[in-house]
Amino acid sequence: MIATIKHNSRNYKIDLSKPLDISIALRGDETNVNAWYLGHPKIRPHEEDGFIGKVSEGSSVNFNNIWFNPHSHVTHTECAGHITEEFHSINQNLKNFFFLAEVVTVAPEKKDEDLVISKKQLQYALGNKKRKALVIRTLPNLPNKNSMQYSNTNPPYLLEDAILFLKTKGIEHLLIDLPSVDKERDEGVLICHHTFWNTKGKIRSNATITEFIYVSNTIEDGTYFLDLQVAPIENDASPSRPVLYKIMD
């Protein structure tokens, strides 16, 4: 089904029958993507007073309990409430879901013992383009990103100047295929989170960060429409399913 979208006085056409899902699913076992020193998520039949919520065990329904942490185990979208004393809910702050987005591929560069994404790299990737959302794919881009165990691996992260640049570009929704925009062990400074949400001034409550995406190599760099949907949970972060739609010529 072809849809026409008007954005900044221009009409764009997308094919709604060809979604490009860039989320990582929750599987509930040791192969699930993981970070932040937690065990793997669990999806298990509920058991109580002899009842086992599994049809193959005699129940009339499959009735599973699910244990997971959105920051550790699944593609998730978070708001400023992730780092503020005051409660902010992603379910309340994210009210629009469709954005013009740019997909860029970046090879993190060496800085001391770390791999980082710099302002210079993002300047080169974005150029003069104006977008509400930015999707960052990092290299190498292998399918094992769907099952990576990131704890104690010091993954790549963004430098503060990169985040400041994105703010000046008007980026409100940042999506990345890493467990965090910040360094794994930074003594709780979280400089990129604080800078992106402007916690020392007027908080950018409409801005979001989405982590643990996976952008297949079959998806080319370029401009897309992004449908960013979250599970309706009153929490600082929620599992999400970002979906890209290619713009038709």
CB atoms within 10 A of CB 241: 20
Of 69, 96, 127, which marks where a domain is finished? 69
123 and 239 share a domain?
A: yes
CA distances from 157 to 111, 192, 216, 233 (A): 11, 9, 20, 27
Statement to judge: residues 220 and 106 lie in one domain: yes
End-to-end CA distance of the chain: 15
Residues 39 and 64 in one domain: yes
What is the reported pLDDT for 9? 83
Question: Which letter does DSSP use for residue 202 in this model?
Answer: S
Using CA atoms, how far apart are residues 140 and 109, in angstroms rounded to an integer? 12
- Count CA atoms closer than 13 A to 136's CA, side-chain side: 34
**0.95 exceeded by the pTM?**
yes
CB 43 within 8 A of CB 52: no
Give yes or no: residues 79 and 168 share one domain. yes
| Cα pseudo-dihedral 160, 162, 165, 166, rounded to 10 | -110
DSSP string across 85-106:
SS---HHHH----EEEEEEEEE
Structural domain count, the chain = 2
What is the reported pLDDT for 132? 97
Over the chain (249 residues), the average pLDDT of each successive run of 10 is: 86 95 97 98 97 97 98 98 97 96 98 97 95 98 98 98 97 98 97 97 97 98 98 98 95
Q: Residue 32's domain spans which residues?
A: 26-69
131, 38: one domain? no
